Structure 1
Amino acid sequence: MPNIVLSGYYGFGNAGDEAVLFSIIKALRKIDPEVSITVLSHNPGETAEQYGVGAVNRWSVKEAAEAIKKSHLVISGGGSLLQDVTGIKSLFYYLGIIFLGKLLGKPVMLYAQGFGPVFTNFGRKITRTVVNRVDYITVRDENSAAELKKLGINRPPVEVTADPVMILEPEKNEMERARVLLSELKAGGTFFEADKPVVGVSIRDWPGCELFIEGLAKVCDDLAASGWQVLFIPMHYPKDLILSQRAAGFMKEEAYILEKELPVQSLLGVFANLDLVLGMRLHSLIFAAASGVPAVGICYDPKVEGFLKQVGQINAGNVECIDYNTLKKAVFDAALNPEPLREKLKDRVHQLRRRAWDNAELAVKIARGKQTVT
C-alpha cells in the first residue's frame, strides 16, 4: 500500500488551498483506492476529520520527519508555495520540507505548482539548489515552467499539467443544495431571487487597494441597477469576509454575502449557480472555469493572468492600476455577451481536466516504484 505525504498551505482556512488538497486526495484515491495519505497541516485534527486522512502538525519537525520516514513519496503542492512575495520564511519552510524528504531518502515530487516569483538573490540561490534535487516536477502553467528554466532548474524533468482543482466537476445534489442556500440569503429586506442573473465577486486584500474597492463597488452598483444580483464570495476566512463586507458597504444597492464557510464541493455548487464571476482570487476563477461560468479576472499576480489566458477569459487589468471605467467595460462586455466565453471554456476545460489527472497518475506510479526517478 503506497503511503504519500502532502505538504502545502493546508489547514489555514483558505478555500483555494483546501480545494487543492481536496482535489489531490480525490485524484490519488481514484487512481489507487489503496493509497494512504498523511497531510502536514496547520490544523491536523480538522484536516484529518474533514478529509479522512492522516494528518500531523506541519510546524513539528519531529512529526513531519516521522511521517516522511514511513512514506513512499513526498508531494510538495499544489498552490504557489515556492515564492517569496508572502515572505522569505514561507519559501524556506517549503524548501525545508523538500530537503527533509531528500535527506530521509524519499522521492519528492512538486505537484502542479505555480512557481514564483522569487525576488531575493538568496531565495533564488537556495531554491535552485534544493529544487534541482527533487525527482519530478509538474507545474500548472507555462509561465511556471519558464520561470523554473530561467532560475536554472535543469536536473528533474518538468511537465506542464494543470491546477489540481481542474479535476472537479459540480455535482447535481450540491448544485441543488446551493440553490436552497442562496434562496435563504438576505440583503437589507430582500431575499435572493432565483430567476435573476447573479455575479459572484471574490476579492482579496492588497496594499493600497482602497480606491480599487470603491471602484469595484460602483461597478457592482451598475450591475445591480441593470437587474443583476451581486454575491460576494469570500475564499479566505475571515480576511476576505471582512473585505467583502467593506466593499458591500460602499455600494448604494444591496449586495449578498456568503458569510458561511463551505466545504469544497458545496462551494463549487454555489459557483455552478452563477452567471458570471468577477474574481481576484485565482481559485475563484478556477472554480468558475470548472463550473463552465464566464469570468472576468483582476490580476495581482502573474498566476491570475496566466490562468485567464489558459481558459480564454477576460483580464480586466492589474489591481494596482485598474480604474472604474476599465473595470466596468470588462465586466459589462462579459455580462452582455457571455456565449463566446462559455464556448472557450468548453474547448479548454476538458483538456485541462485531463492534464490535472496526469498529476495523480504520475504520483501513484512514483509511490508504487513504477516510475523511474532521477
Structure 2
Amino acid sequence: MTRRSLTIGLVWHSTQSPNLGLGALTVGHLAILDDLTARLGLQPRYRVIGVGDRSPTYINRADLTTKGLRTKDLVNPVGGLAGAVRACDVLLDIGGGDSFTDIYGAVRFRRMTWTKVMALLLGRPLVLSPQTIGPFEAGWSRRIAVAVMNRCRLVTTRDDLSTAYLRTLGVRAPAVEATDVALRLPFTAPERTPGDPVKVGLNVSGLLFGGGYTGKNQFGLAADYAAMMRRIVARFAAMEGVEVHLVSHVAGDHIGVEDDHTACRALASEVPGTVCVPPFPDPVAAKSYIAGLDFFAGARMHACIAAFSAGVPVVPMAYSRKFKGLFGSLGYDRVVDCRADSAETIEAALFDAFADRAALAAQVRAGAERGLARLRAYEDALTPILEEAAQR
C-alpha cells in the first residue's frame, strides 16, 4: 500500500546548533515523529525552520531539509519564511524549548511569534510542541501570545508550571501536558570494565561561569558559581576511587561566553587528575558518553535530561524555573536552585546525593517512565492533526 506523504515543518529546531540541547530536542522529536507516522501509514518529509548556524550539521537524513532564517527572510513574501511555511502541511513549533517568552527581550519574542503568525496567516495547522510557556511579563506581549496560542490546533507544555500558567492566561486552545522530547534521544551506553573508578560527570556552564552575558551575575545566582564549581571539582577529585569528568554541552569556537569547554579546560588545568572531555560531535554522542557515568550534576538542563533518561543519578543545578518545572513534574525532587540556595546548601545537597546515588538511580528510572508516558499523551493528541493534514 502506498503511504501518504506529509511535509512536517519543525520550527525553532536545529540540526547544527553548538547548543546540543537544541539538537537533542530535534533528534528526540524526530524519533517520536518517525514512530508515529509509521503507525499512521504516512511518509514524512521534514523541513527544519530556525536560526542558521555556521557549525557543521550533525543530522543528515534524506527526508530532511533545513531553512536557516535571516532577518530578511522573515518578511520575504516568496522564498523566505513564507515560502518555507507554504511548503509544509503542518507546523510543529518547539520554540527552542524555552524561548516563547519575553524575558529574553522584545526582539527574540517578535521573531518567535512571527513564525507562528505566518503559519496562521497562510492557513497551516500550527502545533506548539512540548516546551516551557512564558512568562510574558509585558502586557502587550502577553496579549499577543494568548491570541496566537488560542489559534493553535494544540498547545503542549513540558511541565506543570507552564500548564498552570496557561490557565492563568486564559488560553482556550486544546492543551496537553507532556515533557521534554529529548527523553526520546537515542544513545548507546559504553561498556564498563570491572574495577573502573566511580565516574563523576560535572557539566560546567560557561555562561554561568562567566557571570552571564553581562559578566555581572546576570541570572541572579545566590552563590559565586565559578568559586563553587572549583570547590566541587576539587572535592570530588580528592575522593579515593573517584574520577571526575568535566563535560561541556554547549561548545564552539565562535560562541564566546556560552562555551562550556573553555570553563572545563580552566578547571581541569587547576585540578590535576580530572578528565576534560572533548566537545561532542552531536547530541547522541553526548548522551552516550553521559550514560557511562555513575553520577552527574550540571547547569545545562539537557545535559541533565541526557543523564536522567539514560538512568544516571543526577542533580540538576537550576538557574531558571524550567528545571524544577520539568523534573518536578516527573516526581524528581533532587534539583538544587542556584538562584535561591547558598553555596553551602548546594554543595551539601550534591554530596549527599552522591552518597545516596543508588536510591537516586531508582528515582531516575521511575521518573523517566513517567516522562515516556507523558510523551505518549502528546503523540495521541497529535495523531488526528497529522492525519487531517495528510488529507489536505
Q: Which category describes the TM-score, using the shorter chain as reference length?
A: 0.7 to 0.9
CA contact (8 A) 1:48 1:55 kept: no
Determine if the alignment matches structure 1 residue 339 to structure 2 residue 358: yes
- What is the alpha-carbon distance in structure 1 between the residues aligned to residue 104 and residue 249 of structure 2? 17
CA contact (8 A) 2:251 2:279 kept: no
TM-score, normalising length: structure 2: 0.82
Q: Which residue of 1 aligns with 2:300?
A: 281
1:87-166 to structure 2, matched below 5 A, reads 87-153=105-171, 155-166=172-183
CA contact (8 A) 1:215 1:323 kept: no
CA contact (8 A) 1:47 1:55 kept: no
CA RMSD of aligned residues (A): 2.6
Sequence identity of aligned pairs in percent?
Answer: 20
Once the two structures are superposed, residues 70-108 of structure 1 have per-residue CA deviations (whole angstroms, 9 ceiling, x without a partner) of 222111106112112222222211111111000000110
Q: Which amino acid aligns with 1:7?
A: V
Q: Which residue of 2 aligns with 1:37?
A: 46
Once the two structures are superposed, residues 13-55 of structure 1 have per-residue CA deviations (whole angstroms, 9 ceiling, x without a partner) of 2100100001111211122141111001333895586344111
Structure 2 gap ranges (5+): 212-216, 253-258
Q: Which amino acid aligns with 1:198?
A: K
Match for residue 314 of structure 1 among 331, 334, 344: 334
Q: Which residue of 2 aligns with 1:189?
A: none
Q: Which residue of 2 aligns with 1:217?
A: 230
Task: Give the 3-state SS of the residue equivalent to 2:92 in structure 1.
Answer: strand
Task: Give the 3-state SS of the residue equivalent to 2:388 in structure 1.
Answer: coil
Deviates more, 1:193-202 or 1:7-16: 193-202
- What is the alpha-carbon distance in structure 2 between the residues aligned to residue 311 and residue 197 of structure 1? 26
- What is the alpha-carbon distance in structure 1 between the residues aligned to residue 187 and residue 17 of structure 2? 24
Structure 1 gap ranges (5+): 184-192
Q: Which amino acid aligns with 2:12?
A: G
Change (3 A) 1:349 1:273: same
Flag as ranges the 4+ runs of structure 1 deviating above 6 A.
none
Change (3 A) 1:316 1:48: closer
Match for residue 69 of structure 1 among 86, 90, 99: 86
Task: Give the 3-state SS of the residue equivalent to 1:312 in structure 2.
Answer: coil
- What is the alpha-carbon distance in structure 1 between the residues aligned to residue 61 and residue 321 of structure 2? 30
Change (3 A) 1:136 1:240: same
Match for residue 58 of structure 1 among 44, 69, 72: 69
Change (3 A) 1:49 1:347: closer
CA contact (8 A) 2:245 2:275 kept: yes
